[in-house]
Each structure stands twice: as structure tokens, then as C-alpha cells.
Amino acid sequence: MENLQEEVLPERIIDEEYKTRRPISPGAEKWLFRPISCLDHGFVVLKDYLGNDSAIVEAARVSYGKGTKSVNEDIGLIRYLRRHLHTTPSEMVEFKFQCKMPIFVARQWIRHRTASVNEYSGRYSEMPNEFYLPDEAVLRKQSPTNKQGRADDLTPANKKKVLEALSEVYGLSFDYYENFLKSDIGLAKELARIHLPLATYTEWYWKIDLHNLMHFLALRLDSHAQHEIQVFGQAMARIINDSVPIAYKAFEDYTLTAMRLSGPEIEFIKNYQLGNEDSTRAEILEKFKNRRETDELMEKLEKLGFF
């Protein structure tokens, strides 16, 4: 085995700029320990990383070092892997973030179960006096067609009313919290926190491999995602774009700006003469018998330039 290691796994050359043998990403180095502000009190900061674009290529070829392939061949390989959903080489690259967000954002975020997470403990430490107060621009009415989305703007008077009410509730909640803890009541921290709102900020360390991070970004950068978590996705995307630019461009081309067509959708496009928008919608609805599928196909046809 020792002879095999000497033959197949030659010692890495020290990177003179960083004085290390580990693969370095200049783009990731640029972002280390530099927080990106998110919402009013939140942030995303890259704390550590493992690997770069070359690490994806090395894993795919099961080799070490720079190898004998050209840069263009490396780019082609990474794009091929992403295009054909060969994801395990991307799992060899990892990122560790420290993130601070409102609890309701964290509860959406934690549904992505493919990361290692260590969250701030309200049982051990006192909760911060920090609550998410939305910007006026994001205060909108409930969408009549999307049960988890927003629609029209609130009136300026109603926006003011919402923000004043939230500020009042936050202040009152934290006053009670402090009173529970620090008065003669002396309530345990794990109980004193239970009335605090979902807008309270929490933070965590979040470590994830590149493949699963891209799955997270594909969902959370989507225009249908909740605005508040989109903000955190956009911050991470900036870091990943700089850290693994070849892989991120492939992700952008084959996931973010791409679309999937189902078998019935392809069949419809092949066999139906597309008319104006109203008649086409009626044809699709008749064919699919489902309003949501009809809306989704209409969006795709619009993106393809039919309307």
C-alpha cells in the first residue's frame, strides 16, 4: 500500500501564496470572515471551506494533483457532470457558514436536512433583543391564488400600522422575557423564552457539501420562495459564485436558468397548434384537467417566447 501511495498520490506542491498544500480557492479566501448583511440584523459569513473547482475534477477522475488535462477539458467535465446530474464529485467540496436569521426563516431553512447544524441555545444563553422588522417594500397582501405567497401592496397607512404594531409587540415581549429572567421570578431560560415571537433572531453554524448547497440554492433563489430566505440564498450565491466559478456557471446554466418539461408537456407542445394565450390556456386546461399544471406550462411557454 505504501508503494501504491507513492506512485498514485504524489505529494502536493506547496501553494507559495498561501503556504499550504491544500487546494485553495482565491474566491473563497476573499470571502472568509467577511459577513454579508441580510435583512435588518442578519448575516451570512463563510467560516471555512474544503476544495475548489479542481477538487470536483479530481474526484471525478479519482486522481490527485493538477493532472494532465487542459483547463478547457476540466470545464467541459464539470459542465458534463452538472448537465447529467452526476453529483457525487460536487459532494467533495464543502462550505461552513455562520448565519444569523429570524427563527421563522431558520425553520424553513432547516428543512434542508443534508447539512450539519449547530444552533444558538436559548436554554444556555440569553436570547438577543433583536427582532425582524420588515422593510415597507415587502409588506404585501395575501395572494388569492398562492396559499403561501404575497400579492398586492398594502396601503401606506396599513404598512405604518403593521410596523408600529410589530415594534410594540417586540418591545413588550422582550420586556416580559427580561422580567422573567432577572426579577425575583428567576424563571429558567429554557422557559422564559417560550413567548418570544418567530421574528426573534437566532444563529447557527451550517456546514454543507456543494451538491446539497446547490439544491438549497435552486429552491431558495427561486422567485416563488419567501423573500426573506431568498435574501440569504442570494448572499450564499455570491460566495459560491466566487469560490467555485466553473461549477457555479454550470449550475446557473443547467439548473437556475433552465427548465424541465414533463412527458405530457412535451407531448402537448409537439402535437398542439399553439394559438393565442387565452385559447392555449383553455386547451391545456382541457388536456391536463389541473389548473396548477396549466399555469406552470403557460409560464414555460412564455419563457420559451411563444407569448
Catalytic residue positions?
A: 220
- The three three-digit cell numbers of residue 241, written as one number: 459564485
Q: Looking up cell 505529494, which residue turns up?
A: 11
Contact 148, 187 (CB under 8 A): no
Strands 201-209 and 116-119: antiparallel
Q: What are the beta bridge partners of residue 153?
A: 140
Contact 69, 32 (CB under 8 A): no
3-state secondary structure string, the chain? CHHHHHHHCCCCCCECCCCECCCCCHHHHHHECCCEEECCCEEEEEEEEECCHHHHHHHHHCCCCCCCCCHHHHHHHHHHHHHCCCCHHHHHCEEEEEEEEEHHHHHHHCCCCCCEEEECCCCCCCCCCCECCCCHHHCEEECCCCCCCEEEECCHHHHHHHHHHHHHHHHHHHHHHHHHHHCCCCCCHHHHCCCCCCCEEEEEEEEEEHHHHHHHHHHHCCCCCCHHHHHHHHHHHHHHHHHCHHHHHHHHHHHHCCCCCCHHHHHHHHHCCCCCHHHHHHHHHHHHCCHHHHHHHHHHHHHCCCC
Q: How many angstroms separate the CA atoms of 131 and 194, rounded?
A: 15
Contact 81, 89 (CB under 8 A): yes
